[in-house]
Amino acid sequence: MRPGSRPTWLPCEAGAHDQRLKAYAPFGHWKTQTFIAALRHDRIDAPWVIDGPINGELFTTYIEKVLAPTLSPGDIVVLEPVLSL
């Protein structure tokens, strides 16, 4: 760490190092959530969160209802397929 800088986290004295930390899942469940957004050079645009995995029907809905209204003439859209394992 550089002199004068602060750590981004602080140690926690909540329990011993050899004990499991008990915590709750975000939103109360351990289900898949999918986040889709348009990445521009200066911001993220058209964010959309889906409660579950993405499929062709949901992706088409995203393009038509969320992404397309944010596009302007001359915008370039690059779609990169990301395969889930």
The pLDDT, as a whole number, for residue 37 is: 93
From residue 59, alpha-carbon distances to 28, 43, 45 in Å are 25, 21, 16
Check if the beta carbon of residue 62 is closer than 8 Å to that of residue 49: no
Confidence of residue 2 (pLDDT cuts 50, 70, 90): low
Distance CA(1)–CA(41), nearest Å, equals 30
pTM: 0.60
Q: Furthest-apart CA pair in the chain: how many Å?
A: 58
Which two tokens mark 42?
């200066």
Check if the beta carbon of residue 20 is closer than 8 Å to that of residue 38: no
